Amino acid sequence: MGLEKWRIGFMYYYLLVFALYIYFNKGIAYSFLAESVLGIGLVLVLVHLKDFIFLANRSTKLLVLFFLVGCVYFIVGLENFSLISLLRDASVLFYIGFFLLLFLFQSFWKLFLPKLITIYAWYPIVAFVSYQLSAHVEEYREFILFGDTPFALVKFGDMAVHLLVTSLLIAGGFIRYRFSLLIINLFLILYLILLIASYTRGGLLAYALPLVIFLYQSRHKLSDWFTRGRVLVMGFVLVLSVVLYINSGGDENFQGRALGFEQVSKNVLSLFSEQEDGALTDNKLWRLAWWYKIVTDAFEVKKGLVGVGVGPNLTLLGDVGTDDEQLRSPHSIHLTILARFGIPIFLLWLYWMYLLFRRIRSKTEPGFSKIILFILLGFIINASFDVYLEGPMGAFPFWTWVGILSCSDYFSSLNAQGEVNA
């Protein structure tokens, strides 16, 4: 009974920290709260190891293997690199450990899952309020709680992924708002997506592509929802969102992108072709040059087999010019894994993603599991164009959803226990 209380207490701490990372993103990135959750959780996993049955699955076996590989590379790097550098770089595999922690909550799943979904039910309102305060209240914009990063600083790509989660949970019927709250949240989601479309191409793609595929696959189930009255309401909501967006104040970001439909069109078109916008083109070419260097280096025997390991700064190895001293990874989770751990681990990573996403086409996949797959697809798309899963802001929620999916695979009853009424 005592151990059960520890698990319940840890669950509430897990949800609290999870909510903080979802709502405030990079503003608490240097709080190390996520790392404290991982550390405490792994201790509890060891205490309750006999309750874990996940190793029967190929996918989860691979995840455990990746975690152990991270441990080996960390130990090997101790001879040549600082502890901070090693932890920072090995975390891309260490964070995988979050998926194990979800098995700690299996006996009180009905308590955990609705609370986690509630966090996302409130996300559009929290994100909107935080953005408006940041745009118009200097004290809030400049307030620092941890490290040297403003508390209000949110990466728009990360925001896109969390809005995707909320949108999918609404479309799947796992978040049920009162009609008035539904309209408010749809309005805020559309408005925030327009903001995202101005500032980040990868974030826009991460939101739109999984949602469009999901809606297409679910078109027969959703057709009854789109009555004339609801379509008219949605049209009205869209118009209001556009009006608010046009009248929003916002500064150019560090890449020279500003609010406006001209910037949105440039971002969308740049995904498929070269544009006259020099900032967009330069950013794309900078990434491609770095990625090309990593791929060509992989054909060297040593780098190809084991990678460069953890500790080295990949910007230096790739001879990439940047003023960002914090940048160590090439804006792609896949290239990070290839560079640091070599071709064999990279191929296993691709195989794990294949095992995961091949299920999207399955017509027998339970509804909740299918939604999680599209959620994870959004995370992976954003992580393909940004430093996302290398840090706790993306890794914590991503591996949490992987853990939820893993638990759903073993405990089929979980697929029907996520609905939240707001």
* Model pLDDT for residues 112-149, shown as the tens digit of each residue: 999 999 999 999 999 999 988 888 888 888 888 887 88
Would the pLDDT of 227 be above 70?
no
* Bridge-based pairing state of the strands 149-150 and 420-421: unpaired
**Rounded distance between C-alpha atoms, residue 409 and residue 57, angstroms:** 9
**Rounded distance between C-alpha atoms, residue 338 and residue 141, angstroms:** 37
Tell me the pTM.
0.88
Pick from 211-225, 244-258, 401-415: least confident: 244-258
3-class secondary structure, 73:
helix
To the nearest 10°, the Cα dihedral for 373, 216, 351, 50? 20
Confidence of residue 304 (pLDDT cuts 50, 70, 90): confident
Confidence of residue 320 (pLDDT cuts 50, 70, 90): low
Mean pLDDT of 248-260: 49
Pair 310, 73: CB distance under 8 Å:
yes
Return the pLDDT at 316.
73
**Rounded distance between C-alpha atoms, residue 169 and residue 262, angstroms:** 31
48 phi/psi in degrees, rounded to 5:
-105, 25
**Rounded distance between C-alpha atoms, residue 207 and residue 374, angstroms:** 10
**Rounded distance between C-alpha atoms, residue 105 and residue 414, angstroms:** 11
Mean pLDDT of 303-329: 73
Question: CB within 8 A of 280, min separation 6: which ones?
Answer: 201, 255, 257, 266, 267, 270
Domain positions in the chain are: 2-417
Return the pLDDT at 392.
92
Confidence of residue 280 (pLDDT cuts 50, 70, 90): low
Question: CB within 8 A of 158, min separation 6: which ones?
Answer: 25, 26, 203, 382, 388, 393, 394
Q: Comparing 152 with 320, which gets the higher pLDDT? A: 152
Name the nearest CA neighbour of 128 among 149, 157, 159, 155.
159
Q: Comparing 286 with 293, which gets the higher pLDDT? A: 293
